Chain A
Amino acid sequence: MGAISKIYDQLLFGMAGLSGVLIFFAFVSIVVDVLMRITGLEPFIFIMTMFEYILLWFTMLAAPYLLRIKGHVFIDAVTQFLPPAVKTFVAKLVYLLCITGCCIYGYNLMGLLLEAVQSGELDMRTYEVPIWLLFVPMPLCFFMCVIEFLRYLFGVDDMYSQSIEERENV
């Protein structure tokens, strides 16, 4: 069990690391693209599509990690006034709702991924790419989110233990 947990953690943090690498690569690619255009070189036509795909991959790969570090924004304007026992009950209910939501999304996205692989359908953008590339990280992300919510449900950690000053947003 310990070994599986360790491998899972490595996957979770590895995916977050890859998310960071991807977004930095997106920045480099966009600068290179413009510089090529300015200097009269033929820019790579796939850059815009690649950038758009990176936005999705970067989001999906980091989502379970954000749950682990309590980085998803929530509102505790009401729950903070609840008695501790009720608050714990509501929190468990929240985890169950989120698990259900993620299972439904994950299952349907898995179906879409398999369908896209079988059909070989292309995504019509500035550069055509197999549409399954879009769906690859999504079922994985949602199923890993289920695991993260299960951790909270079984009391390994508490999603609401972060103070409001520590929260980040735009």
Chain B
Amino acid sequence: MEWYWALATLIGMVVFFMAMGVPVAFTFIITNIIGVIIFMGTTTGWVQIADNSTQLITRFTLGPVPMFIMMGALFFHTGLAIRVFDGLDVIFGKLRGRLCFLTVAGGSLFSTLTGSSMANTAMLGSLMVPEMQKRGYNWQMSMGPILGTGGLAMIIPPSALGVLLASVASIDVGKLLIAGFLPGFVLAGLYAVMIYLQLRINPESAPAYDVEMPPMAERIKIVCVNILPMGFIVFMVVGFIILGWATPTEAAGFGVLGVIIVAAAFRCLSFEAIKTATHATVKVGAMVFFIIMSSTVFSQLLAFSGASAGLLKWTISFGISKYWILLLMFFVLIALGMFMDATSMMLITVPIFFPLASQLGFDLIWFGLFVLMTFEMAGTTPPFGLLLYVMLGVAPKGTTLYQVAASAFPFLVCDAILILLMVQWPQLALWLPSLMG
């Protein structure tokens, strides 16, 4: 079979079954079963696909995924997240649009402590939207910064999705995680600038109001007590990886330990919180791992059928600039993201895009971050970006999907600017990983 028919058959089957509503993990299982009959011409290959399905999820490098989920869940369920917000709240004083800036600062800090964009968006949304509405912020200002900042968890370490991507694409997990650190904070800065510009254009979108501020000594104390201990957790994850003291899996384990220690110090650790966090880890972690397990064979089928190699040769044969191909990949991901979650998108595109990026001469750590950035944008793209629905779920009654999507748009522009900055200055993403040797 020609490579393009093989590609169309495999991708077509996945898209068709997903569109029917088959759960993503089972979509890959069914595609694998049919794919074996088509490309091997025999059912004896079924034993092989069952056997091969254990290969990827028994890798030590995937260990950070459940650990990061547990870390984030503990952070939310012990009440540490609220403490961080209280600490940040006293920093902004009477600044106009303070709740928006607080969202960006809090969301960025949350991103260094949790690995899930959805959890981040849900947390920020439920915490900040009611307060913003009460203070007279319009819908753009009350939802936009949350949607933008919520997605930061995808690129700022620890990122569960980053670990998945690195494992599936066979690139260095630690380097990809660390690569997101600087661009993540540059993006948070761009969001702050965007909020400032929006306020300049329409000051009434976030009316100023009086805030009773505690004395300076009290404020410093609140910041020291509520925020500085979080640095200890960040160090246990990011610091351990950069310094080479632990593998990403070990560092993730220490991240969980860090949250437990800090929560115990604040006397907010309970058996109930640990139980709830473990339950969340089983729900999200096992679901994602089941998808990874069933998709492993799909990548092998793409290679076996000649689809990956054929597409690679065909794309290279045009001799066009690699940046045009990058742009094409960007639009493919954004289009897929309109209908799919990031994990599914990743498993369909990684076996095709990463070999292509490697052939075109892109640094794969840089490209991994580019893909994560695009996932972040895709998650806030209508009509089915998942973060939009998470936001809609926590927004006040009567909020429409159009309002949520429109409020996210200026922040999507910031994401696009960051991607351009990364294209122009790749070192923005590659400098920190280069320190790791």
Contacts and interface: CB of A to CB of B under 8 A. Distances in A.
Contacts of A135: 54
B124 interface: no
Contacts of B246: 34
A4 interface: no
A34 B67 CA distance: 15
A31 B342 contact: no
B66 A26 contact: yes
B30 A98 contact: yes
Interface string B280-309: 111111111111010000000000000000
Contacts of A90: 20-21
Interface of B: 17-26, 29-30, 33, 46-47, 49-51, 53-54, 57-60, 62-63, 65-67, 69-70, 115-118, 160-161, 164, 246, 249-250, 253-254, 256-257, 274-275, 278-291, 293, 339-344, 383-384, 386, 389-390, 392-394
Interface size class of A (residues with CB under 8 A): 35 or more
B66 A23 contact: yes
Given A51-B63, A78-B19, A73 B291 contact: yes
Contact of A24 (B249, B250, B278, B284): B278
Given A53-B58, A63-B286, A170-B160, A73 B344 contact: yes
Interface in A44-91: 48, 51-53, 55-56, 58-59, 61-63, 65-67, 69, 71-79, 90-91
B225 to A, nearest CB: 26
A24 B70 CA distance: 9
B59 A112 contact: no
Interface of A: 16, 19-20, 23-24, 26-27, 30-31, 33-34, 48, 51-53, 55-56, 58-59, 61-63, 65-67, 69, 71-79, 90-91, 93-94, 97-98, 100-102, 104-105, 108-109, 111-112, 134-135, 138, 159-160, 163-170
A16 B51 CA distance: 23
Contact of B23 (A26, A65, A74, A112): A74
A97 B283 CA distance: 23
A18 B316 CA distance: 49
Given A56-B57, A56-B293, 9 more contacts: A30-B63, A55-B289, A74-B22, A75-B339, A78-B20, A97-B17, A108-B49, A109-B50, A112-B47
